[in-house]
């Protein structure tokens, strides 16, 4: 007879780890199933070697002061480091400061209604407003770089919410030592509570009924697993693909809201050098924007010995880069940075002190993108997805959190919410 768990959690990203922790603290029997060969989901911190800097292959920044992330950092004893909010662009050999991009967008959107009706995409909105070329380009860079979404697909009402918040507080932080420290803290707590976390366990079918139980099929496993409840933390593209994850019966209340969400794409490549390399060539306290380049944003992290440059592209440019091979993406990032430094690419390549780091989340079958965004009419989609499905299914993940969508904070908050819903169903 297969064991019956109180709860099975699908996914060991931050949402799944958070949900499993809360369920385990309530002394429920919990099983975590993760399709990949590691935990963390779209958080992936690669430690540096011999004093080199660690690399964030996924999430890197804490935007503003989101309490879910701050509370977990306090609990884990992890500090946050403030990040300079300066933005610059290069003109000839000089760097010119750029205005706060969120303030420009907030001023344009200030008079717009926040109701879900009459929503439109950002491209159509800008055309209606007849904005000048410079403002249009600045907003394009912001939407593609921050939201990782195309102008023609992202909801203008969702942008208005972000602009209102970030134009008044655009503070940013990094987790000291990387986001992976929060992942490790949650995982260690689960292991101490003797929660089983199974890696390389891809759930293919979830058979459920309103009052439970839930039966789950795992690829390659002969027997099904049974649980009283199931917390699902799969990203939006996986939830929309019945060939990857099938629910029997289909969860009809999820179909509409999922269609109102998109998956943003981001490409990032990290290149690390000794700190004295090209010491004065670029400002290391700013985000450097080069809108004509494929990788159009660069920023630096440094310690006493090393400096690491991140080459970033979001939205359509990231999708274009996702069609390239891994080696070609690395080459393009290296060439872009060499151009910015005004150095031959061969000189830059020789100065690298460790392999170039990157991970292609767009082609990762368990992620299929970076983070979610709202399509027109979708500002209430997260709330619709956050409701329980009877006493059986509870959906979590950054796309299901209305307060912190598309962020690690949203993943944490949604995991805690889904766990409380499951506990209520379990009595």
Q: Which residues touch 227 (CB under 8 Å, ≥6 apart)?
A: 4, 5, 6, 7, 8, 31, 212, 213, 214, 216
CA-CA-CA-CA torsion sign (47, 70, 410, 60): negative
Residue ranges covered by each domain of the chain:
4-42+179-262+370-426, 101-168, 266-367
Give the dihedral of Cα atoms 219, 221, 225, 229; nearest 10 deg.
-20
CA-to-CA dists, residue 67 to 62, 98, 107, 292, 294, angstroms: 11, 29, 27, 37, 35
- d(Cα 339, Cα 280) in Å, to the nearest integer? 15
> What pLDDT score was predicted for residue 112?
54
Q: Which residue has the tokens 């963390």?
A: 40
> What pLDDT score was predicted for residue 1?
45
Do 266-367 and 4-42+179-262+370-426 fall under one CATH topology? no
Among 93, 42, 128, which Cα is nearest to 412's? 42
Q: Give me the architecture of the 4-42+179-262+370-426 domain, per CATH.
A: 3-Layer(bba) Sandwich (3.50)
- d(Cα 239, Cα 108) in Å, to the nearest integer? 35
CATH class of the domain whose range is 266-367: alpha beta
Query: In the sheet that 80-83 helps form, which strands lie side by side, from edge to edge?
Result: 61-63, 172-175, 80-83
Residue 226, beta-bridge partner list: 4, 215
Q: Which residue has the tokens 């939205």?
A: 315
CA-to-CA dists, residue 140 to 81, 85, 365, 375, angstroms: 28, 19, 28, 16
pTM of the complete model: 0.96
What tens-digit pLDDT sequence spans the chain (427 residues)?
456 899 999 999 999 999 999 999 999 999 999 999 999 999 999 998 777 899 999 999 999 999 999 999 999 999 999 998 889 998 888 899 988 777 778 878 775 545 455 899 999 999 998 888 888 888 899 899 999 999 999 999 999 888 877 767 778 999 999 999 999 999 999 999 999 999 999 999 999 999 989 999 999 999 999 999 999 999 999 999 999 999 999 999 999 999 999 999 999 999 999 999 988 889 999 999 998 899 999 999 999 999 999 999 999 999 999 999 999 999 999 999 999 999 999 999 999 999 999 999 999 999 999 999 999 999 999 999 999 999 999 999 999 999 999 999 999 999 999 999 999 999 8
Q: Characterize 312-329 residue by residue with b for buried, 16 or more Cβ atoms within 10 angstroms of its Cβ, and e for exposed.
A: bbbbbbbbebbeeeeeeb
What is Dmax (Cα atoms) for the chain?
A: 72
CB 78, CB 176: distance < 8 Å? yes
- d(Cα 145, Cα 140) in Å, to the nearest integer? 8
User: Hey, what are 163's tokens?
Assistant: 């602009």
Give the N- to C-terminal CA distance of the chain in Å, as an integer: 24
> What pLDDT score was predicted for residue 280?
81
């Amino acid at each position: 007879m297969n064991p019956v768990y109180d709860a099975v959690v699908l996914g060991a990203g931050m949402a799944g780890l958070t949900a499993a922790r809360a369920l385990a603290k309530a002394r429920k029997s919990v099983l975590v199933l993760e399709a990949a060969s590691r935990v963390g989901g779209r958080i992936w911190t690669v430690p540096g070697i011999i004093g080199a800097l660690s690399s964030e292959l996924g999430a890197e920044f804490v935007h503003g002061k989101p309490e879910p992330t701050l509370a977990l950092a306090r609990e884990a004893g992890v500090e946050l480091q403030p990040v300079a909010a300066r933005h610059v662009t290069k003109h000839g050999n000089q760097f010119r400061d750029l205005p706060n991009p969120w303030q420009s967008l907030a001023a344009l959107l200030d008079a717009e209604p926040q109701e879900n009706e009459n929503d439109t995409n950002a491209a159509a909105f800008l055309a209606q407003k007849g904005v000048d070329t410079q403002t249009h380009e600045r907003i394009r860079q912001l939407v593609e770089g921050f939201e990782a979404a195309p102008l023609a697909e992202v909801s203008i009402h969702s942008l208005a919410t972000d602009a209102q918040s970030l134009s008044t507080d655009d503070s940013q932080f990094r987790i000291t030592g990387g986001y992976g420290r929060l992942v490790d803290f949650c995982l260690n707590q689960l292991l101490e509570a003797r929660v089983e976390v199974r890696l390389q366990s891809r759930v293919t079918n979830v058979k459920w009924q309103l009052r439970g139980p839930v039966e789950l099929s795992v690829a390659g496993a002969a027997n099904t697993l049974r649980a009283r409840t199931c917390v699902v933390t799969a990203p939006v593209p996986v939830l929309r693909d019945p060939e990857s994850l099938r629910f029997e019966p289909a969860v009809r209340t999820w179909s509409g809201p999922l269609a109102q969400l998109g998956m943003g794409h981001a490409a990032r490549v990290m290149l690390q050098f000794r700190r004295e390399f090209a010491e004065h060539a670029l400002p290391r306290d700013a985000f450097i924007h080069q809108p004509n380049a494929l990788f159009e944003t660069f920023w630096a992290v440094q310690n006493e010995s090393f400096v690491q440059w991140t080459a970033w592209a979001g939205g359509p440019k990231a999708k274009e880069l996702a069609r390239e091979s891994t080696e070609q993406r690395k080459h393009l990032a290296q060439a872009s940075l060499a151009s910015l430094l005004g150095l031959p690419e061969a000189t830059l390549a020789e100065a690298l002190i460790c392999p170039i780091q990157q991970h292609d989340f767009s082609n990762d079958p368990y992620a299929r993108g970076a983070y979610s965004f709202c399509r027109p009419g979708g500002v209430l989609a997260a709330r619709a997805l956050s409701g329980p499905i009877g006493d059986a299914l509870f959906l979590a993940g950054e796309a299901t959190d209305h307060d912190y969508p598309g962020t690690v904070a949203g993943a944490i908050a949604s995991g805690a919410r889904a766990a409380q819903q499951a506990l209520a169903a379990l009595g």
